[in-house]
Amino acid sequence: MNPILTMALKKILIIHQGALGDFIMTFPIMIELRKTHFQVDALCQKKLGDLARKLNLIERSFPLESAAFAPLYGGLSDRIDLQTATFLQSYDRIILFSFSRSLQANMERFGAPVVLRIPPRPPVGEKIHVSRFLWSRLARAGLLEKAGLMSEASTVIQHLTLQRCIEAAPGPVLIHPGSGSRKKNWPLENFIRLEKMLRKDGLQAEFILGPAETYLREGLAASPATIPPIHIVDDLLQVLRLIKSACGFIGNDSGLSHLAAITGLPVTAVFGPSDPVRWKPPGPAVVVVHSGSDCSPCHEDKSRTCNSMECFKGISPQKVYAAFRELVKPVQI
């Protein structure tokens, strides 16, 4: 038994600079750390911290955007900010999910306790799921048991599915045609055709768009067949409420697909240029539809560019719909 695991640390601070999808990959870690340590806090984007607190994954959150934390990113010649130093020194251990060695050095200059810096994702091309990679790095540091390595984030699911509100009547199927990168988006017309298939089978569908995806609303509105509501959401807690009332989710490789999956909702995710081995949404009821084309995956490889999007051409709405129906077959919808 590693001595760190036998002696609970009183306070741990997790620092994460990434977006929703990357942040969700740390959820299994947060849950496991809270089992053995007194308090786990997070310094991250405000909306992500609010989400993690709502899901009871952390005790407190601090907004990375706040000017109060600007000194963390100052140069080595800058004076020590006492308020920042006091904040960092109040923790027994800091886990920094970042590629930045200079940020780690700057934090240590402020008198931070042991700072464990972990890259937020494995090197490009390494065939390992991101959540597994992160878990293994913390296990190597003695903060998690190697034997506790989760399978498809089962630890998270056991925790979060208890918070889902399952209604007596079946809820809608949420369709999210956007993502953090337009290159990861399956063509919008395919999602429109998919909605028609759902409606033909008597299933209610509703579209969900983030604030950076409003350009997709014009395409949805232009389709005479698109009748269902279109939710424009800029609040992750609002997204969570929609997810809790839904019976299924269909989308791209996106942060919202990851959020839906990790709360236990059946998710069908369309993957084009991204690698499902690394980025498959973690959840108990997830199916990825991927063409397996020779040129994919390429999304993380900056040396490769592609405008033809061949990886999406072999994925038809019929194929995605069949995958979704097979996924939810055991569920009465």
In a domain, 284, yes or no: yes
Does 91 share its domain with 105?
A: yes
Domain that holds residue 168: 164-327
Q: Which two tokens stand for residue 102?
A: 């200079």
More confident residue, 227 or 326: 326
Residue 332 placed within a domain: no
Do 150 and 137 share a structural domain? Answer: yes
Predicted local distance difference test score (pLDDT) of residue 293: 60
| CATH number for 42 | 3.40.50.2000
Q: How confident is the model at residue 154 (pLDDT cuts 50, 70, 90)?
A: very low
* Segment 55-68, tens digit of pLDDT: 999 999 999 999 88
Residues 168 and 76 in one domain: no
Is the pLDDT confidence value at 300 over 50?
yes
In a shared domain, residues 137 and 215? no
3-state secondary structure of 41: strand
**Same-domain status, 149 and 183:** no
> Is 333 domain-assigned?
no
How much is the mean pLDDT over the chain?
Answer: 84
| CA 93 – CA 103 distance, rounded (Å) | 16
Same domain, 143 and 236: no
- Same-domain pairing of 154 and 169: no
Q: In angstroms, rounded to a whole number, what is the distance separating the alpha carbons of residues 271 and 291?
A: 8
Same domain, 72 and 112: yes
**On the CB side of 203, how many CA atoms lie within 13 Å of its CA?**
23
Note the pLDDT of residue 76.
52
Is residue 126 located within the same domain as residue 23?
Answer: yes
Both 256 and 168 in a single domain?
A: yes
Residue 58 counted as domain residue: yes
**Is 60 within the bounds of a domain?**
yes
Most confident of 42-46, 146-150, 231-235: 42-46
Q: How many residues does the chain have?
A: 333
282 within some domain: yes
Kindly state whether residues 25 and 148 are assigned to the same domain.
Answer: yes
Which residue intervals of the chain are DSSP H helices?
3-6, 20-24, 27-36, 46-54, 82-89, 101-109, 130-140, 154-160, 188-200, 215-221, 236-244, 255-262, 276-279, 310-313, 317-327
Over range 107-129, report the average pLDDT. 91
What does the alpha-carbon distance between residue 285 and residue 249 come to, in Å, rounded to a whole number?
Answer: 10
Spatial contact of 117 and 98, defined as CB atoms under 8 Å apart:
yes
Please report which confidence band the pLDDT of residue 162 belongs to, taking 50, 70 and 90 as the band edges: very low
Q: How many domains does the chain have?
A: 2
Q: Which of 161, 188, 216 is the endpoint of a domain?
A: 161
* Mean of pLDDT values over 13-30: 94
The answer to whether residues 149 and 188 belong to one domain is no
Per-residue pLDDT reduced to its tens digit, 131-151: 999 999 999 998 888 755 554
167 has pLDDT over 80:
no
Q: Among residues 114, 142, 161, which one ends one of the domains?
A: 161
Q: Let me know if residue 193 belongs to a domain.
A: yes
Of the residues 161, 190, 221, the one at which a domain ends: 161
pLDDT given at position 299: 58
Q: What is the structure's pLDDT at 311?
A: 77
In a domain? residue 180: yes
